[in-house]
A = this chain, B = another copy of it.
Amino acid sequence: MSVRIALFDDNRNVRESISLLLQTEPQFEMVGVFSHVLDCIEDLQACKPDIVLMDIEMPGMTGIEAVRLIKKEFPAVQVLMQTVFEDDDRVFDSICAGASGYILKNHLNIRLVDAIKELQYGGSPMSPSIARKVLGKLQSLPPSAGKEAVEDYQLTPREKGVLSCIVNGLSYKMIASELQISYETVRSHVKKIYEKLHVASLTEMVAKAINQKIV
């Protein structure tokens, strides 16, 4: 079974050498080679690749934006980013944009063929130095994110509603009119929430609600 590949790179030498390299693998089929991404959607519609090789540095539109567009239009397409930069933000942005792999250009010759095959098998080939940055990113932000089994405080639906109003900055009065219940009822719910979350002030409650994503 053959793999349809499209290539975006503004450097002519790179385009030619990659094309040559990939021709050595019979199951690879170059279906499109482009020097810019301005028409990438139309280009892909025409050549229908399985895999896109994308230079991160492209004239006109950045490769990152292009990835975003491509993944939006063709979610099944696997995009392999190629770059000479190891800039943290770019790497991170590309990932958020939906790139499936990320290799440095100085690894290109040796690993490109392997990388494409790994993409085929559902893997995400990544240069180790890039991987390090990705891990660093992931390790740096789990304060708020991820899966950490947050406690379940067993709030009733009504209580959650009240809580979310509070987090949005509403006063008891406003919540009462918002939820069409009496001021005193709001207070009752709030008292319950206080007990359940083990907090002693609205501010604590808001902080806990946001950080534990109870809202």
Contact = CB atoms under 8 A, between A and B. Distances in A.
A169 B197 CA distance: 13
A135 B124 contact: yes
B142 A100 contact: no
Contact of A169 (B96, B139, B207): B207
A157 interface: no
A147 interface: yes
Contacts of A207: 167-169, 206, 210
A123 interface: yes
Interface stretch (A22-30, A48-56, A125-133): A125-133
Interface in A173-211: 199-207, 210-211
- The interface size bin for chain A is 35 or more
Nearest to A165: B203
B144 A145 contact: yes
Given A144-B145, A169-B204, A206-B203, A128 B132 contact: no
Contacts of A119: 128
A46 interface: no
B139 A129 contact: no
A201 B124 CA distance: 44
A33 interface: no
18 contacts: A92-B138, A95-B135, A95-B139, A96-B138, A96-B146, A100-B132, A100-B135, A122-B132, A123-B129, A124-B134, A131-B131, A137-B138, A137-B146, A141-B145, A145-B145, A169-B203, A202-B203, A203-B203
